[in-house]
Amino acid sequence: MTIRVFMAALAATTAFTPMAFAKEVKVAIIQSLTGSPAFIGRGIADGAVMGIEEINAKGLAGEGVTITYTLDDDAGERGQALSLLARRAADPTNLAIIGPTTGAIGLAAAAAANDLQIPAYIQSNNDAVPGAGPWSFPFSQSPAIATPPIAIYAAETRGVKKCTVVSVLDNEAYVAMANVFMNTAKEHGVEASLEGVKLADIDFSAQAVKVAQSDIDCMFVATPAALGANLIMQFKQAGLDPAVQIFGLQSLASPEFLNTGGGAVEGVTVIGEWTPGGFNDESRAFAEAYKARTGVEADNWAPQGYSTMLVFADALRRAGPDATREELRDALASIKDVPVVVGQGTYNFTEDRAANFGMGILTVKDGQFVRPDDL
């Protein structure tokens, strides 16, 4: 089912109802609009608000239902995020929390949401989020689901044999994904070793010289976009063999990576929840609408915020306009085949409430992300 068909079907359930009583359902969006995670949080918030406006305009949340929202900035601070969550949860008219932004804060937020018994849809890929209890849901796919495809692609399609994995070590999400890449690569016959960096690092000369002088044929980058682009530029300036194939996480699937790295990131291959510019009619329509709205291209995060609200609207429609928090929680847990604009276009939860919507593999060609020729 495409998003267009999905939306038409939802709209049809309300368009011909003899009596439709207006019902407002409020959600609390808590994202990092400032602070170090703001490059993620602002995009998610922008996409979520855009999604809410479209859902309301088309009546996609159910008969007579309008979603209203508050938008709070946790500034990437754990204490501030938990204080905001507690304050919004104390308001009985708030049906759910959308956020917070980062995986590190997300674990504490998941515990708080379960204590406060309010559904929290958290931008995290950590299995501990659903593990905290039935009230917390991760939007992102866990490393075990998201990362293996690019390791298998590097080993089986590109034929790499020896890979250095360069990962941020002071963020557990990046470490987890780096470890999954290494373990999967090793299972497919690739020798893999780890080089660590920190989020605040700007000088990678020591690591660059060490790696450039090694006999690797592959490098995997597990960092934020701008940091990763800067790192790749410095490694190449240090003499990294041009034949070394460079791969990376979905965090690199961003205009920021392209703009920062320029020609140095040409040929880099990454995974991505979002295919820049879209991969089908619906995602291309989103990309065009987002650029018209904001003046910039959608990166990896706004489409996730938008898709978050599509999933939420599906759960709300099934739970009903007078749903309690518990009924919405149960509807979220039973999400199945919801059309979204990320991954492969269809969103599901596993039995353990792990998100599963697929990943794309993208290569930088002529300054743009494109599908590789060998796929």
Q: In this structure, what CATH number is given to the domain that contains residue 313?
A: 3.40.50.2300
Domain for residue 160, yes or no?
A: yes
Domain for residue 227, yes or no?
A: yes
What is the reported pLDDT for 102? 84
List, for residues 227-285, the tens digit of each pLDDT value.
999 999 999 999 999 999 999 999 898 888 999 999 999 999 999 898 878 888 999 99
Proportion of the chain above pLDDT 90, given as a percent: 81
What is the reported pLDDT for 229? 98
What is the reported pLDDT for 4? 57
Residues 186 and 297 in one domain: no
Residues 268 and 285 in one domain: no
Residues 253 and 282 in one domain: no
Return the structure tokens found at 152.
Answer: 């298998």
d(CA 311, CA 343): 14
Q: What is the band of 17 on the pLDDT scale with cuts at 50, 70, 90?
A: very low
Residue 194, phi then psi, degrees to nearest 5: -110, 135
DSSP lists the bridge partners of residue 120 as 97, 136
Domain for residue 361, yes or no?
A: no
**Res. 8: pLDDT tops 60:** no
- Determine whether 303 is exposed, middle or buried from the number of CB atoms within 10 Å of its CB (0-12, 13-18, 19+): buried
What is the reported pLDDT for 134? 97
Residues 135 and 149 in one domain: no
DSSP lists the bridge partners of residue 271 as 361
Beta carbons of 145 and 176 less than 8 angstroms apart: no
Q: Domain limits at 25?
A: 3-140+278-356
Residues 118 and 223 in one domain: no
Residues 9 and 120 in one domain: yes
Out of 272, 288, 310, a domain closes at 272
Residues 51 and 164 in one domain: no
Q: What is the band of 11 on the pLDDT scale with cuts at 50, 70, 90?
A: very low
Residues 108 and 38 in one domain: yes
DSSP lists the bridge partners of residue 364 as 369
Residue 339, phi then psi, degrees to nearest 5: -65, 130
Residues 8 and 131 in one domain: yes
- Nearest residue to 20 via CA among 12, 28, 29: 12
**Res. 80: pLDDT tops 80:** yes
Beta carbons of 151 and 184 less than 8 angstroms apart: yes
Domain for residue 180, yes or no?
A: yes
Residues 182 and 122 in one domain: no
Give this prediction's pTM. 0.81
Radius of gyration of the chain (CA): 21
List, for residues 25-75, the tens digit of each pLDDT value.
999 999 999 998 898 899 999 999 999 999 999 999 998 899 999 999 999
Residues 55 and 123 in one domain: yes
Domain for residue 89, yes or no?
A: yes
Averaged over 164-188, what is the pLDDT? 95
Averaged over 339-366, what is the pLDDT? 94
**Res. 7: pLDDT tops 70:** no
Domain for residue 370, yes or no?
A: no
Out of 240, 272, 304, a domain closes at 272
Averaged over 288-310, what is the pLDDT? 93
Domain for residue 320, yes or no?
A: yes
Total structural domains within the chain: 2
Out of 221, 256, 272, a domain closes at 272
What is the reported pLDDT for 16? 38
Averaged over 333-356, what is the pLDDT? 95
Residues 62 and 79 in one domain: yes
